[in-house]
A and B are shown apart, each in its own frame.
Chain A
């Protein structure tokens, strides 16, 4: 199954994280917030101007910018 990045999901789509390629302090923060391999994420909505994007993960809502989301790899969950 092919890997896509988190920013390419559509609202309501569910995926599982495979790899976090974000660098720097943001990496640490994302890991702490539950963006670790194996976690399920759902894209909830995009901000009115298209960025940032809101996800549901570990039972809560987290928003990140498209830039970071494009460095997180996921697999779709059917």
Chain B
């Protein structure tokens, strides 16, 4: 039987409408996972078209295949090692010159290529002229005009894929690099040819060019071969930086020769984007507008999410009560009611926030504003050892740390991203507010507002100091250089935003959910055993832990009850208040709790302040921990985040409590 499966890879620069095209081709039948061994997202989808199963893999957006970043390595290795049948390069028709740079590199990989000339409408609207036939001839590849956001040209693109698969009409073409480089390329090729195993795996001309450019990843591929000594000798004799610049130069020279033949660009001096930017990145207005927009996005998220969050919470409380009331024996009822249903509830209450926040973020990104946000804030962030792109995740942390950590994905540099993930938990999320309200309300009277404000400021200060500290110790180095395209402003597509929202929400439920559930069940077990004790009482394991850690927490002014409440707070910080209610025997009556707290001689205003500081800084919650594990892909960093948070919390609470005592409070 004839093989009717075609494997297609989508490649292209960022901001060319790659995701939109991918969604337009695959519809909703797509699968998100990770590339094996790395945290870069892998999206695949299958489209059945004219009897063929076209399997499409969305490669990470890259400007180049000269691998420096993880994205570039992933994209390139997929093309070389997995050998897809066809690579579609999506090219932004309104930004041809730079986009063709990637084309010149794809040619060298000897893959069957089709060019999807996307966003043609924008280019034509602007008055550009595109000569498609000439382009097909010069690039020796089929060229299809598409407008992915309006589903234009998709079928034609798929027709070309099938045509190209049936009889490869077009064969790639390569660019020349001039006599000096070409002679070196030949020299290296000759050496590489002596190892037949390399020739089977890689295009040798491509490999030679990469070696001349000083590509470490390709060098590593050669390292195991017997020819490596000869190669290293040859490379040591040349000035690699010169070659690197010269090769990039020659590619652009080639593009400059091609470009006027395939496109006449209408030079409008002041585009719409420019006019918008005159306002949005204005010296005086830029920052206020940015803050207002962020505040708006934030308000919108929580205004929309809160009713749903409340509904989910109430539904799960109802479910837990009703399911467990009919169950015997009692431990089973408790496991299902308090443990599993409570745990699933804790996972799901974050879902509305995550969905809405990611929807809004996707709108901001699709419109082109997110790049401006990083542009505006970079200077400030750089000063504290972070990248402009870290600002949005930090800001989102005020709502909920979980989506904030997920939002750090937009940061390409691994170190910048790690630091952001590690400091986000210090930003005071919405769940910590009830603790402040209860304690500050009970002990600080009219100063309560000031105390709560102080908590938020403290969170920011600790985050900033931590970023600086991490930069100078375990995550050494400066923030990555800011080299960023400012894409033109566009109207974002609804479909892309909805798919983005759905992907992130589903990912959270699937991946983080399992870890959160595990955490919840562990804490449930600690509160329920040994046999026969009352849930969460002094005699339970959690009570014992409370007593065990009391000597350690006593210098902070905490007794065993506070310690137990903090252990429960690991599930979600909202639970701190609820468990104090249980421990003081007042259930969820806030007024009675306030009265009992004030009456309890073991809590003073000072220890309440210390408790607030500790609650702010110690490990946020199981959900955040789950997301840290998911996003860093490392138990080591997850453990680090956990213990670092506790250490910082302990030190700060100690300073507050002991310092306060010294001052005579």
| A47 contacts across to B, CB distance below 8 A | 281, 286, 375-376, 378-379
CA distance A76 to B134 in the complex (A): 35
Q: Are B284 and A45 in contact (CB under 8 A)?
A: no
Contact residues on A (Cβ < 8 Å of other chain), bracket: 35 or more
Q: Does A63 contact B (CB under 8 A)?
A: yes
- List the A residue with the shortest CB-CB distance to B15: A60
- List the B residue with the shortest CB-CB distance to A66: B379
| B380 contacts across to A, CB distance below 8 A | 49
Q: Are A61 and B485 in contact (CB under 8 A)?
A: yes
Which residue from B213, B378, B483 sits with its C-beta under 8 Å from A62?
Answer: B483
Q: Does B132 contact A (CB under 8 A)?
A: no
CA distance A32 to B249 in the complex (A): 9
Q: Are A29 and B97 in contact (CB under 8 A)?
A: no
Which residue from B96, B98, B379 sits with its C-beta under 8 Å from A51?
Answer: B379
Nearest CB in chain A: distance from B40 CB, A: 17
Beta-carbon contacts under 8 Å, A5-27 to B: 20, 25-27
| A59 contacts across to B, CB distance below 8 A | 95-98, 265
Per-residue interface assignment for chain B, residues 318 to 342, with 1 indicating a CB less than 8 Å from any chain A CB and 0 otherwise: 0000000000000000000000000
Beta-carbon contacts under 8 Å, B438-490 to A: 481-488
CA distance A11 to B77 in the complex (A): 41
| A54 contacts across to B, CB distance below 8 A | 281, 375, 486
Q: Does A4 contact B (CB under 8 A)?
A: no
Nearest CB in chain A: distance from B321 CB, A: 54
Q: Are B481 and A45 in contact (CB under 8 A)?
A: no
- List the A residue with the shortest CB-CB distance to B214: A28
Known: A47-B281, A48-B283. A64 touches B97 (CB 8 A): no
Beta-carbon contacts under 8 Å, B30-87 to A: 63-64, 66, 68
Q: Are A52 and B379 in contact (CB under 8 A)?
A: yes
Which residue from A25, A33, A39, A51 sits with its C-beta under 8 Å from B378?
Answer: A51
CA distance A63 to B382 in the complex (A): 15
Beta-carbon contacts under 8 Å, A38-75 to B: 38-39, 44-52, 54, 58-65, 67-68
Q: Are B98 and A45 in contact (CB under 8 A)?
A: no
CA distance A65 to B380 in the complex (A): 12
CA distance A65 to B486 in the complex (A): 13
Q: Are A65 and B378 in contact (CB under 8 A)?
A: yes
Q: Does B248 contact A (CB under 8 A)?
A: yes
CA distance A51 to B469 in the complex (A): 24
Nearest CB in chain B: distance from A46 CB, A: 8
- List the B residue with the shortest CB-CB distance to A34: B98
Q: Are B277 and A45 in contact (CB under 8 A)?
A: yes
Per-residue interface assignment for chain B, residues 236 to 253, with 1 indicating a CB less than 8 Å from any chain A CB and 0 otherwise: 000001001100110011
Nearest CB in chain B: distance from A45 CB, A: 6
| B485 contacts across to A, CB distance below 8 A | 33, 60-63
Q: Are B97 and A28 in contact (CB under 8 A)?
A: no
- List the A residue with the shortest CB-CB distance to B379: A49
Q: Are B282 and A48 in contact (CB under 8 A)?
A: yes
Q: Are A36 and B245 in contact (CB under 8 A)?
A: yes
Which residue from B265, B382, B488 sits with its C-beta under 8 Å from A65?
Answer: B382
CA distance A61 to B486 in the complex (A): 5
Nearest CB in chain A: distance from B285 CB, A: 8
Q: Are A36 and B249 in contact (CB under 8 A)?
A: yes
Q: Are B63 and A32 in contact (CB under 8 A)?
A: yes
CA distance A18 to B269 in the complex (A): 25
Per-residue interface assignment for chain B, residues 92 to 112, with 1 indicating a CB less than 8 Å from any chain A CB and 0 otherwise: 000111100100000000000
Q: Are B376 and A48 in contact (CB under 8 A)?
A: yes
| B379 contacts across to A, CB distance below 8 A | 47, 49-52
Q: Are A29 and B98 in contact (CB under 8 A)?
A: no
Beta-carbon contacts under 8 Å, B351-384 to A: 371, 375-376, 378-380, 382
Q: Are A27 and B244 in contact (CB under 8 A)?
A: yes
Per-residue interface assignment for chain B, residues 274 to 290, with 1 indicating a CB less than 8 Å from any chain A CB and 0 otherwise: 10010001111011000
Q: Are A25 and B249 in contact (CB under 8 A)?
A: no
CA distance A58 to B97 in the complex (A): 6
Nearest CB in chain A: distance from B334 CB, A: 55
Beta-carbon contacts under 8 Å, B490-516 to A: none
Which residue from B101, B277, B286, B388 sits with its C-beta under 8 Å from A32?
Answer: B101
- List the B residue with the shortest CB-CB distance to A45: B281
| B213 contacts across to A, CB distance below 8 A | 28
CA distance A58 to B95 in the complex (A): 8
Nearest CB in chain A: distance from B219 CB, A: 14
- Best-surrounded residue of B66, B249, B277, B482 (most CB of chain A within 10 A): B482
- List the B residue with the shortest CB-CB distance to A57: B98
Q: Are B68 and A25 in contact (CB under 8 A)?
A: yes
Q: Are A48 and B287 in contact (CB under 8 A)?
A: yes
Q: Are B68 and A64 in contact (CB under 8 A)?
A: no
CA distance A9 to B245 in the complex (A): 23
Beta-carbon contacts under 8 Å, B258-277 to A: 265, 273-274, 277
Q: Are B66 and A52 in contact (CB under 8 A)?
A: no
- Best-surrounded residue of A28, A29, A38 (most CB of chain B within 10 A): A28
Nearest CB in chain A: distance from B150 CB, A: 23
CA distance A20 to B388 in the complex (A): 24
Q: Are A58 and B375 in contact (CB under 8 A)?
A: no
| B96 contacts across to A, CB distance below 8 A | 59
CA distance A44 to B274 in the complex (A): 9
Nearest CB in chain B: distance from A67 CB, A: 7
| B277 contacts across to A, CB distance below 8 A | 45
CA distance A13 to B617 in the complex (A): 49
| A52 contacts across to B, CB distance below 8 A | 375, 378-379, 388, 482, 484
Nearest CB in chain B: distance from A9 CB, A: 17
| B68 contacts across to A, CB distance below 8 A | 25, 28-29
| A68 contacts across to B, CB distance below 8 A | 481-483
Known: A47-B281, A58-B98. A32 touches B66 (CB 8 A): yes
Q: Are B97 and A31 in contact (CB under 8 A)?
A: no
Q: Are B248 and A63 in contact (CB under 8 A)?
A: no
Known: A32-B66, A34-B97, A45-B277. A39 touches B252 (CB 8 A): yes
Q: Are A31 and B486 in contact (CB under 8 A)?
A: no
CA distance A68 to B382 in the complex (A): 14
Kindly list 9 other residue pairs between chains A and B, CB separation below 8 angstroms, not including A27-B241, A29-B68, A32-B64: A31-B249, A33-B63, A33-B485, A34-B97, A48-B286, A51-B382, A59-B97, A63-B484, A64-B483
What are 9 A-B pairs at a CB distance below 8 A? A27-B241, A27-B244, A29-B63, A38-B252, A39-B252, A47-B281, A51-B382, A61-B486, A68-B481
A residues neighboring B (CB under 8 Å): 20, 25-34, 36-39, 44-52, 54, 58-65, 67-68
B residues neighboring A (CB under 8 Å): 63-64, 66, 68, 95-98, 101, 213, 241, 244-245, 248-249, 252-253, 265, 273-274, 277, 281-284, 286-287, 371, 375-376, 378-380, 382, 388, 481-488
Q: Which 6 A-B pairs have the closest CB atoms?
A: A31-B248, A32-B64, A49-B379, A48-B286, A61-B486, A26-B481
